[in-house]
Structure 1
């Protein structure tokens, strides 16, 4: 993969992805976006000339055009090979009697609306990468969009209830993934939803069974193997398919 963009890269899973790509020397250009730059991300940027940090508040969709212009200057005529819509928020276990409108709206804006609108803004760069590598099969060699979802967005596997803001926003993101995969297949852009597993992060909590490195390694191993038949799928970090 030549050019990669990861949103929400200042901590947790996003930061883990940036670390993996720099350590493995897997990308020509790594673009990390975040609202607030962490010291760890600053250090990584100082140590890796191919890592660019861009300020992005995903709730400010009006700024996406400007971000797209900045990214275009970094990737040049090679376009964007991999977009990972990773930035997300969650609420604690929310029962029906306690759920609030503002929780639902915040989760929907960050987890669903932002990935859709950012993908829309970056579509010319993704198409550019797919066209520039027209001799290669559909997949990471051309252009891939990964929407970081969650098993909590699976309607079929919902046996506990609750989590209204998060579940609804991730189920909606999965629906967006499916539509994107249909709309962009003609452009040879692969789209998939990925569940990172239950990971030890600020969002996942201390009781999560997976560490960030294991999750991230699995995610990129899965991404590297994606082929045309995988577009529109909902996958676990280890590549196994999940029910919608």
Structure 2
């Protein structure tokens, strides 16, 4: 891939993705966005000139146009091959009797609205990449959007209840993924939702079953294999298809 954009790249899963891509030379240009740059992310950028860090609060859609311009300055007319909407927030186990309006709104804003609006803003760059790479199959090497979702967004597998803000926002993101896959099919842009597994991050907690490296390795191994028939699917990091 010539270019990858990862939101929420200063820690956790997003930082793990940056580490994986730089370590394995998987992309010629990596665009990492975050509200506040972590020292670890800065250190990686100093060692890898292919990594570009851009300040971005995903809740402020007015900055999306500027982000698009910054990418274009680096990529010229080559566009953007892969957009990974990774930035997210969660709340603790939230029962119906305890859920608050502000929790619902925050989760929906960051986990659903931001990925939709950022994708909308970057579609012209994705189209550029898709058109320029017509010799390649529909894939991340051409143009693709990966929305980082969660098994908690699966309605079919919800057997615990609770988690209202997070579940609702991720179920809505899955719905957006399906619509994106249909709307962008004509442009040869692949779109999929992906569950990273229960990962040991600040969000996942210390009891999680997967380390970041295992999850991220699985995610990119799966992403590299995705083709046109996979567009619109909800997949686990290891490629297993999940129920909506």
TM above 0.5: yes
Q: Which runs of 5+ in 1 are unaligned?
A: none
- 2:53 is equivalent to residue 45 of structure 1: no
- 2:78 is equivalent to residue 82 of structure 1: no
SS at 1:33's partner residue?
A: strand
Q: Matches of 2:216 and 2:240 in 1, distance apart?
A: 15
How far the C-alpha of 1:49 sits from its partner, in A, is 0.4
**Structure-1 residue corresponding to 2:209:** 209
- 2:137 is equivalent to residue 137 of structure 1: yes
Q: Which runs of 5+ in 2 are unaligned?
A: none
Q: Matches of 2:82 and 2:75 in 1, distance apart?
A: 11
Matches within 5 A, 1:63-82: 63-82=63-82
Which range moves more in the overlay, 63-72 or 141-150? 63-72
Q: Matches of 2:167 and 2:75 in 1, distance apart?
A: 35
User: Any runs of at least 4 consecutive aligned residues in structure 1 with deviations exceeding 6 A, and if so which?
Assistant: none
Q: Matches of 1:13 and 1:75 in 2, distance apart?
A: 25
**Structure-2 residue corresponding to 1:62:** 62
How far the C-alpha of 1:80 sits from its partner, in A, is 0.3
Q: RMSD in angstroms over aligned alpha carbons?
A: 0.4
Deviations along 1:101-155, one digit per CA (max 9) or x if unpaired, are 0000000000000000000000000000000001111111210100000000000
How far the C-alpha of 1:72 sits from its partner, in A, is 1.2
SS at 2:190's partner residue?
A: strand
Aligned residues: 244
**Structure-2 residue corresponding to 1:153:** 153
